[in-house]
Amino acid sequence: MSMYRPLHDGWTLTAVADEVGVAGVPAAVPGCVHTDLLAAGLIDDPYLDGNEDRLTWIGRTTWAYETTFTWTGDGSARADLVCDGLDTVAAVLLNGAEVAVTENMHRSYRFPVRELLREGANTLRVVFGSPYDHAERRRAELGDRPGAYDEPYPFIRKMACNFGWDWGPTLVTSGIWRPIGLHSWSGARLASVRPLVTLDGRDGRVEVRATVERATGGPLAVTAEVGGVRAETRLAPGEHEAVLVLTVPAPELWWPRGYGDQPLYPLTVGVAPVEEAVEEASGDQASGDQASGDEWTGTIGFRSVRLDLAGGAFTIVVNDVPVFVRGANWIPDDCFPSRVTRERLAERLGQACGANMNLLRVWGGGLYESGDFYDLCDRLGLLVWQDFPFACAAYPEEEPFTAEVEAEARDNVVRLMRHPSLVLWNGNNENIEGYHDWGWREKLDGRTWGAGFYFDLLPRVVAELDPTRPYWPGSPYSGAPDLPPNDPSRGTVHIWDVWNREDWLRYGAYRPRFAAEFGFQGPPAYATLRRAVRGEPPALGSPALARHQKAHDGMKKLLRGLGDHLPRPSGLDDWHYLTQLNQARALTFALERFRAQAPHCMGTVVWQLNDCWPVISWSAVDGDARRKPLWYAIRRAYADRLVTFQDDTVVLVNDSAGEWTGELAVTRLALSGEPLARRAFPFAVPARGTLPVPLPAALVTAADPAKELTTATAGDLSAVRFFAEDTEVAFPEADLTATAEPVPGGTRVTVTARTLVRDLALFPDRLDPRAEVDDMLVTLVPGATATFHVASPVPLDPAALTTYPVLRCVNEAKG
């Protein structure tokens, strides 16, 4: 028989040190100390105001979780305690006997406990040592390692961003963060199942490699079935490894979103003693409760994936079709990952799809995500680039660290490899660059830094367990250890001189093969900011606002980044709108520039899609799940078809499966709307292609740059280019009419411009935190109209919805 029993009820939490004064607090499993203390009312919300700073003691405390459960001997030969996630330094005790000591948040564990179980009440206790104490002790033993932050995260296999990042708080967690339960079984169980899915011509090939753990010495039957095809093999007594090959004739292929459909095929693998397998096949088995075998089920998709690296390129190729990546970096969606439900993931991944993304990079300072994450990506057609969890630091390679890294890699490669959305294993984030370019080599003085992981251990594990998809040592990386790692002309590049030092026009100097990380900051939605910073609206430069800005000199960089692009803000409302707008413009400029360079450039992965708490950051979706203006800008820049001005050329980008034909109309206008020059260009852009349309001097040369602009229109797509920065344009004071009328589910707002209106934006969350708008940042020429739909659960005040500070534009009239 085989039975799994979750052990999630009846837990309590106690601080081992009496002076902390926390004992017997009801605890949620899965969960963590912070969420348990918060639920008990013993701490304030770590995400609000300055509460984070008052909670550092939690990560320096030893905590004990304890529960009691009843066990009545069920006749099973074996009973295992299965721990899907222990965060992080844990001693596991059953009825007072130590079962194991663990040191890795990123892996799962299975411990045989049949001999420790008692009839009746059993006590399970998990004691979590201080992550800080453990990491600092290892650092003292091994010698310090350089990194981006003065925290000991390289010395513990734990989510690095728990220790704070330039967008995240320092909230160092402990707890049973993934399910825990008791698995009773007899006969045999499937210890691991590795489906190697490939294409053989038009047919699908599934090579199932199964590892079996035995509680019986007799022969076993191992079966596999997918797509109506079944295979079976026998294991003789003492054998533990089975290989079954299934060929599925002409399966439907799995494609990235925008390239085709995402059909998924259920795969079932079973093991049973031979006599049971025979009885089951004949239908004679009396009761499934008596089965002493095991079954594994999961979905797979048929597709091929490879990297095209010819000539320095970095192109993801799926089913022999090169894919232009329109992606974003993904960070943990909450500092307390047990709070991230499937429904929350569905919302966030839906926002990625809504912004026309086709890839998420699971960044190396976070986690191997939950099964729900990859399952949803499979169903949505979102490609997944998976970093191994190493980021922005030199990591020690001494034991037992290396053994832990190999164990976690094996665990997660096997767990995730069935997912067709997963297309790339990546060794680390920025560690190769740090070693070569950030002065780490001198500081290390010969100490290990992780090279053995990225160039040996991890590629070896991937080659052994999952040879069906590519491995890349790190990002940025140029393809060989002796090449400059952050060379735009080869492999992947990260672009951080923009934001840190340079104006965002600097993006125009880049011609990358694949831009894997770049971004620009902006504040969260107003409702998010005001929830996090309570009381009176904070003044610019106030400590209250600074607590939710984690980047070094971030507030100064935000203001400096406005450059000559936008005027100086006069208060919080202006600062909020202008810095959000500048963030959107910076990424629009970069994305359009790089997409216009296809196929030389074959991917952009912006930093970042999401936030883990309410913060001023690079995200498109803030920590309260609200879409920032950047999200709308990315949606436009990532559309299948794009019209973009690039120097003296209009580039038409067609990332759809069909040819795009039509007429391109380019007009030079006075700010008053009077046409000064116009040309029409018939065009035909091939599928997955780009077409540059050079413009004559009459369209690219202004008689008065401060008083003119150019528009380009192809069908329902358009682009606008000004000849001068906004601070130099002679904008008229905006003259517009705005009306609001109730419609089912919200309000329709109609805006008609009598003058030029630059970057019109609507912020309904200022009136109701639940309200959201369907579009943002629209520039109107005189006479043009824009319609917005505001979704809200309650009616909104029409007058407030159509005036400052809810309705904004660059050249607005506030009087």
Report the alpha-carbon distance of residue 291 to residue 2 in Å, rounded.
7
Average pLDDT, integer, range 734-746: 96
pLDDT of residue 287: 32
Average pLDDT, integer, range 605-615: 98
Average pLDDT, integer, range 578-586: 98
pLDDT of residue 285: 37
pLDDT of residue 216: 84
User: pLDDT confidence of 2, banded at 50, 70, 90?
Assistant: confident
The CATH 2.60.120.260 domain(s) of the chain lie at: 2-183
Residue 283 has pLDDT above 50, yes or no: no
Give the helix, strand, coil percentages of the chain, each rounded to 5. 25, 35, 40
Residue 638 has pLDDT above 80, yes or no: yes
> CATH fold of 644-722, please?
Immunoglobulin-like (2.60.40)
Q: What are the angstrom distances between the C-alpha of 190 and each of 225, 243, 349?
A: 15, 13, 32
pLDDT of residue 815: 45
User: pLDDT confidence of 536, banded at 50, 70, 90?
Assistant: confident
Average pLDDT, integer, range 133-161: 97
- Write the burial class of residue 503 (CB in 10 Å: 0-12 exposed, 13-18 middle, 19+ buried): middle
Residue 278 has pLDDT above 90, yes or no: no
pLDDT of residue 277: 55
| Percent of the chain scoring above 70 in pLDDT | 98
Q: What is the pLDDT of residues 52-86, one digit of tens each?
A: 999 999 999 999 999 999 999 878 889 999 999 99
Q: What is the pLDDT of residues 11-33, one digit of tens each?
A: 999 999 888 889 999 999 999 99
The CATH 2.60.40.10 domain(s) of the chain lie at: 187-300, 644-722
Q: Which amino acid is at 392?
A: C
CA neighbor of 425 nearest in space, from 444, 412, 434, 436: 412
pLDDT of residue 78: 95
pTM of structure: 0.95
Q: Which amino acid is at 102?
A: T
| Percent of the chain scoring above 90 in pLDDT | 94
Query: How far is it between the farthest Cα atoms of the chain?
Result: 92
Report the alpha-carbon distance of residue 422 to residue 418 in Å, rounded.
8
Average pLDDT value over all residues in the chain: 95
pLDDT of residue 648: 95
Packing angle, helices 554-561 and 572-596, rounded to 10: 70
Q: What is the pLDDT of residues 227-258, one digit of tens each?
A: 999 999 999 999 999 999 999 999 999 999 99
Q: What is the pLDDT of residues 433-473, one digit of tens each?
A: 999 999 999 999 999 999 999 999 999 999 999 999 999 99
Q: What is the pLDDT of residues 524-533, one digit of tens each?
A: 999 999 999 9
List of residues 6+ apart from 246 with CB closer than 8 A: 205, 206, 208, 224, 225, 226, 227, 229, 230, 231
What's the CATH number for 736-808?
Answer: 2.60.40
Instruction: Provide the Cα torsion 673, 675, 679, 684; round to 10°.
Output: 10
CATH class of 2-183: mainly beta
Q: What are the angstrom distances between the C-alpha of 785 and each of 644, 737, 753, 757?
A: 22, 9, 6, 10
Architecture of the domain made up of 187-300: Sandwich (2.60)
